Amino acid sequence: MAVTFDAADAAGVAAFWGGILEREVLSEPGGALLGGHDTQVGLRFVTADTQKSGANRLHLHLTSESLEDQQATVDRAVELGGRHLDVGQLPDEDHVVLADPGGNEFCVIGPGNTFLTGCGLLGEVACDGGRGVGLFWRDVLDWPLVWDQNGETAVQAHRGGTKLAWGGPPLAPKSGRNRQRFDLATDDLRAEVERLIGLGAASIGDRDEGVELVDPDGNEFWVRPS
Protein backbone atom coordinates (compact mmCIF):
# COMPACT_ATOMS: atom_id res chain seq x y z
CA MET A 1 0.00 0.00 0.00
CA ALA A 2 0.97 3.65 -0.30
CA VAL A 3 -0.09 6.99 1.14
CA THR A 4 -1.00 9.43 -1.62
CA PHE A 5 -0.46 13.18 -1.26
CA ASP A 6 -2.03 15.81 -3.49
CA ALA A 7 0.52 18.52 -4.26
CA ALA A 8 0.77 21.53 -6.54
CA ASP A 9 4.41 20.55 -7.13
CA ALA A 10 4.32 16.77 -6.87
CA ALA A 11 7.87 16.34 -8.15
CA GLY A 12 9.26 18.85 -5.65
CA VAL A 13 7.51 17.33 -2.64
CA ALA A 14 8.52 13.84 -3.76
CA ALA A 15 12.15 14.97 -4.05
CA PHE A 16 11.97 16.30 -0.49
CA TRP A 17 10.71 12.99 0.88
CA GLY A 18 13.13 11.03 -1.25
CA GLY A 19 15.94 12.98 0.39
CA ILE A 20 14.56 12.50 3.90
CA LEU A 21 13.86 8.78 3.55
CA GLU A 22 16.78 8.06 1.20
CA ARG A 23 14.49 6.41 -1.34
CA GLU A 24 14.55 6.58 -5.11
CA VAL A 25 11.95 8.87 -6.65
CA LEU A 26 10.18 7.18 -9.57
CA SER A 27 8.37 9.35 -12.11
CA GLU A 28 4.75 8.41 -12.86
CA PRO A 29 2.11 9.96 -15.10
CA GLY A 30 0.89 12.96 -13.15
CA GLY A 31 3.30 12.60 -10.26
CA ALA A 32 5.97 10.54 -8.55
CA LEU A 33 6.32 7.49 -6.30
CA LEU A 34 8.63 6.55 -3.45
CA GLY A 35 8.18 2.80 -3.46
CA GLY A 36 7.66 0.95 -0.22
CA HIS A 37 8.38 -2.63 0.73
CA ASP A 38 7.05 -5.21 3.14
CA THR A 39 7.93 -3.17 6.25
CA GLN A 40 7.73 0.44 5.00
CA VAL A 41 4.74 1.98 3.28
CA GLY A 42 5.17 3.75 -0.04
CA LEU A 43 4.47 7.42 -0.67
CA ARG A 44 2.83 8.65 -3.86
CA PHE A 45 2.61 12.31 -4.90
CA VAL A 46 0.10 13.44 -7.52
CA THR A 47 -0.25 16.83 -9.14
CA ALA A 48 -3.51 18.37 -7.94
CA ASP A 49 -4.88 21.73 -6.85
CA THR A 50 -6.76 20.36 -3.82
CA GLN A 51 -6.89 23.20 -1.32
CA LYS A 52 -5.62 22.75 2.22
CA SER A 53 -8.24 23.58 4.84
CA GLY A 54 -6.94 23.32 8.38
CA ALA A 55 -4.70 20.54 9.62
CA ASN A 56 -4.43 17.42 7.49
CA ARG A 57 -6.29 14.31 8.65
CA LEU A 58 -3.10 12.27 8.54
CA HIS A 59 0.58 13.02 8.98
CA LEU A 60 3.84 11.08 9.09
CA HIS A 61 6.02 10.30 12.10
CA LEU A 62 9.74 9.78 11.60
CA THR A 63 11.76 7.96 14.24
CA SER A 64 15.15 8.72 15.81
CA GLU A 65 17.82 6.52 17.35
CA SER A 66 19.36 9.35 19.42
CA LEU A 67 19.01 13.07 20.04
CA GLU A 68 21.80 13.63 17.54
CA ASP A 69 19.97 11.50 14.98
CA GLN A 70 16.76 13.47 15.59
CA GLN A 71 18.55 16.78 15.10
CA ALA A 72 20.24 15.49 11.94
CA THR A 73 16.84 14.57 10.48
CA VAL A 74 15.44 18.00 11.37
CA ASP A 75 18.45 19.76 9.86
CA ARG A 76 18.21 17.68 6.70
CA ALA A 77 14.51 18.46 6.38
CA VAL A 78 15.11 22.20 6.66
CA GLU A 79 17.97 22.04 4.15
CA LEU A 80 15.68 20.23 1.70
CA GLY A 81 12.97 22.87 1.95
CA GLY A 82 10.98 21.97 5.06
CA ARG A 83 10.13 24.43 7.82
CA HIS A 84 9.37 24.41 11.52
CA LEU A 85 5.69 24.53 12.42
CA ASP A 86 3.98 25.73 15.59
CA VAL A 87 0.86 23.69 16.33
CA GLY A 88 0.80 24.51 20.04
CA GLN A 89 3.35 21.92 21.10
CA LEU A 90 5.04 22.50 24.46
CA PRO A 91 8.79 23.18 24.80
CA ASP A 92 9.37 19.99 26.80
CA GLU A 93 7.75 17.69 24.24
CA ASP A 94 10.19 15.26 22.65
CA HIS A 95 9.04 15.64 19.05
CA VAL A 96 9.73 18.33 16.47
CA VAL A 97 6.88 19.46 14.22
CA LEU A 98 7.75 20.43 10.66
CA ALA A 99 6.03 20.97 7.33
CA ASP A 100 7.26 19.72 3.97
CA PRO A 101 7.39 22.03 0.90
CA GLY A 102 3.76 21.18 0.18
CA GLY A 103 2.62 22.30 3.63
CA ASN A 104 2.07 18.77 4.96
CA GLU A 105 2.72 18.46 8.67
CA PHE A 106 5.03 15.74 9.98
CA CYS A 107 6.83 14.99 13.23
CA VAL A 108 10.36 13.85 14.00
CA ILE A 109 9.91 11.76 17.14
CA GLY A 110 12.62 11.74 19.79
CA PRO A 111 14.54 8.62 20.83
CA GLY A 112 13.12 6.23 23.38
CA ASN A 113 9.58 6.08 22.00
CA THR A 114 8.74 2.45 22.73
CA PHE A 115 5.60 2.46 20.58
CA LEU A 116 7.71 3.08 17.48
CA THR A 117 10.73 0.97 18.40
CA GLY A 118 11.76 -1.18 15.45
CA CYS A 119 9.30 0.47 13.03
CA GLY A 120 11.96 1.94 10.74
CA LEU A 121 12.54 5.57 9.80
CA LEU A 122 8.97 6.05 8.58
CA GLY A 123 7.60 4.81 11.85
CA GLU A 124 3.95 5.77 11.71
CA VAL A 125 1.17 7.19 9.62
CA ALA A 126 -0.88 9.01 12.27
CA CYS A 127 -4.52 9.50 11.25
CA ASP A 128 -7.67 11.08 12.60
CA GLY A 129 -10.25 8.37 13.10
CA GLY A 130 -12.32 6.39 15.54
CA ARG A 131 -11.95 2.77 16.60
CA GLY A 132 -14.29 1.57 13.88
CA VAL A 133 -12.11 2.87 11.08
CA GLY A 134 -9.05 1.27 12.65
CA LEU A 135 -10.82 -2.08 12.69
CA PHE A 136 -11.93 -1.50 9.10
CA TRP A 137 -8.34 -1.04 7.93
CA ARG A 138 -7.23 -4.03 9.98
CA ASP A 139 -9.62 -6.13 7.93
CA VAL A 140 -8.81 -4.44 4.62
CA LEU A 141 -5.06 -4.97 4.93
CA ASP A 142 -5.16 -8.16 7.01
CA TRP A 143 -2.69 -6.53 9.38
CA PRO A 144 -2.77 -7.35 13.09
CA LEU A 145 -4.21 -4.84 15.52
CA VAL A 146 -1.24 -3.83 17.69
CA TRP A 147 -2.93 -1.12 19.76
CA ASP A 148 -6.53 -0.84 20.96
CA GLN A 149 -7.02 1.45 23.95
CA ASN A 150 -9.37 4.33 24.76
CA GLY A 151 -10.64 4.58 21.21
CA GLU A 152 -7.12 4.64 19.75
CA THR A 153 -6.08 1.88 17.35
CA ALA A 154 -3.03 0.91 15.33
CA VAL A 155 -2.25 -1.82 12.82
CA GLN A 156 1.06 -3.10 11.54
CA ALA A 157 2.15 -5.54 8.86
CA HIS A 158 2.95 -9.07 10.01
CA ARG A 159 6.68 -8.48 9.51
CA GLY A 160 6.60 -5.19 11.41
CA GLY A 161 7.55 -1.76 10.12
CA THR A 162 5.41 1.33 9.63
CA LYS A 163 2.32 1.48 11.84
CA LEU A 164 -0.98 2.97 10.73
CA ALA A 165 -2.62 4.57 13.75
CA TRP A 166 -5.92 6.37 14.48
CA GLY A 167 -6.09 8.77 17.40
CA GLY A 168 -9.71 8.25 18.42
CA PRO A 169 -12.22 10.93 19.46
CA PRO A 170 -12.77 13.80 19.34
CA LEU A 171 -12.59 13.93 15.55
CA ALA A 172 -12.14 17.20 13.69
CA PRO A 173 -14.92 17.85 11.17
CA LYS A 174 -14.02 16.90 7.61
CA SER A 175 -13.77 19.86 5.25
CA GLY A 176 -13.69 19.03 1.56
CA ARG A 177 -11.66 16.34 -0.13
CA ASN A 178 -8.71 14.95 1.84
CA ARG A 179 -5.31 15.90 0.44
CA GLN A 180 -3.88 12.58 1.69
CA ARG A 181 -5.38 9.14 1.32
CA PHE A 182 -4.51 5.47 1.18
CA ASP A 183 -3.78 3.82 -2.15
CA LEU A 184 -4.27 0.08 -2.69
CA ALA A 185 -3.36 -2.13 -5.64
CA THR A 186 -5.10 -5.36 -6.60
CA ASP A 187 -5.01 -8.04 -9.29
CA ASP A 188 -8.83 -8.19 -9.47
CA LEU A 189 -10.35 -4.73 -9.23
CA ARG A 190 -14.02 -5.73 -9.33
CA ALA A 191 -13.65 -8.43 -6.67
CA GLU A 192 -11.60 -6.16 -4.42
CA VAL A 193 -14.12 -3.33 -4.63
CA GLU A 194 -16.90 -5.75 -3.71
CA ARG A 195 -14.83 -6.99 -0.75
CA LEU A 196 -14.15 -3.44 0.45
CA ILE A 197 -17.82 -2.51 0.24
CA GLY A 198 -18.65 -5.64 2.22
CA LEU A 199 -16.25 -4.47 4.93
CA GLY A 200 -17.97 -1.10 5.23
CA ALA A 201 -16.57 1.11 2.45
CA ALA A 202 -18.74 3.03 0.00
CA SER A 203 -17.89 3.59 -3.64
CA ILE A 204 -17.64 7.14 -4.99
CA GLY A 205 -16.96 6.12 -8.56
CA ASP A 206 -14.29 5.42 -11.14
CA ARG A 207 -11.12 7.50 -10.98
CA ASP A 208 -7.84 7.26 -12.91
CA GLU A 209 -8.26 3.63 -14.05
CA GLY A 210 -9.29 2.58 -10.55
CA VAL A 211 -12.16 3.12 -8.15
CA GLU A 212 -12.37 5.70 -5.39
CA LEU A 213 -14.14 4.77 -2.17
CA VAL A 214 -14.61 6.19 1.31
CA ASP A 215 -13.93 4.39 4.58
CA PRO A 216 -16.46 4.35 7.46
CA ASP A 217 -15.23 7.79 8.61
CA GLY A 218 -15.75 9.28 5.15
CA ASN A 219 -12.08 9.40 4.16
CA GLU A 220 -11.39 8.88 0.47
CA PHE A 221 -9.09 6.09 -0.67
CA TRP A 222 -8.25 4.59 -4.02
CA VAL A 223 -7.95 1.03 -5.28
CA ARG A 224 -6.33 0.46 -8.65
CA PRO A 225 -5.14 -2.41 -10.83
CA SER A 226 -1.67 -3.63 -9.88
Q: Give the separation between CA 158 and CA 129, rounded to whole angstroms.
A: 22
Burial class (CB within 10 angstroms; exposed 0-12, middle 13-18, buried 19+) of 124: buried
pLDDT of 210 reads: 95
21-43 tens-digit pLDDT: 999 999 999 999 999 988 999 99
Domain ranges of the chain: 2-166
pLDDT band at 90 (very low <50, low <70, confident <90, very high): low
CB 187 within 8 A of CB 171: no
In this prediction, residue 87 carries a pLDDT of 72
Looking at domain 2-166, which of 3.20.20.70, 3.30.930.10, 3.10.180.10, 3.60.21.10 is its CATH number?
Answer: 3.10.180.10
Cα 110 from Cα 39, distance rounded (Å): 21
Report CA Rg, the chain.
Answer: 17
Q: Following DSSP, what letter does each residue of 97-154 receive, concatenated?
A: EEE-TT--EEEEEPTT-GGGTTS-SEEEEEE---HHHHHHHHHHHT--EEEEETTEEE
Is the pLDDT at 151 greater than 70, yes or no? Answer: yes
Model-level pTM? 0.94
pLDDT number for residue 181: 95
pLDDT tens for each residue of 177-214:
899 999 999 999 999 999 999 999 999 998 888 999 99
Q: Does residue 42 contact residue 185 with C-beta atoms inside 8 Å?
A: no
